[in-house]
Structure 1
């Protein structure tokens, strides 16, 4: 999977980027047709909290869809773990939905109720 990583208004450590890359590559075990992805790393600038929260946004591109998750945490590693779990669920739902569509049969029915033609959908 090709990932683009963007650290907004700060320089991210290469170890952090490698950690995120490694975690997100594990998503390919759930769905192998992931084409690309983007990761946005931001620091929360709220004045009320003394501890700066980290915001991680991940956008994954799959055929005919785009999956997105946004996580807040005290560290980017923690946000990455939460985001990967959320994306696993989204990928499983997407895959199940795709398989349901691929296994359907479309029937054209005439006015008198006879089956005119039957078309199987292999892949959309």
Structure 2
């Protein structure tokens, strides 16, 4: 699986890249249908104290899957986004029928 990570309106972080790569690698081991992952980390000013946005788009066989979250911390945003993706992947996996 290829992983493309982009930092928008913020500096690049090696620690964040390794954290995202580890989490997505675990997800790809569980769901072997994932081909490519695009990750966007954005920093926006938000009066509510949030503004750390994580968006992920997974390329699969068939339509792509997208999830996004806006949290106070990037690690929490990544964690919540991957949870949402995992729910969508589980739903997609249940609709796929094996061909014999």
Whether these two folds match at TM > 0.5 is yes
Question: 1:117: which partner in 2?
Answer: none
Distance 1:64 1:58 in 2: 17
Q: Is the 8 A contact 2:51 2:70 kept in 1?
A: yes
Q: Is the 8 A contact 2:50 2:70 kept in 1?
A: no
1:83 positional shift: 1.0
1:52 positional shift: 4.9
1:84 partnered with 2:82: yes
Structure 2: where are the runs of 5+ without partners? none
1:56 partnered with 2:62: no
- Runs of 4+ off more than 4 Å: none
Structure with the bigger percentage of strand: 1
Larger Rg: 1
The 5 A counterparts of 1:78-117 are 78-99=76-97, 102=98
Distance 1:63 1:83 in 2: 20
Larger relative contact order, structure 1 or 2 (CA cutoff 8 Å, min sep 6): 2
Distance 2:25 2:17 in 1: 12
Total equivalences in the alignment: 100
1:45 positional shift: 2.2
Q: How large is the Cα RMSD of the aligned pairs? A: 1.6
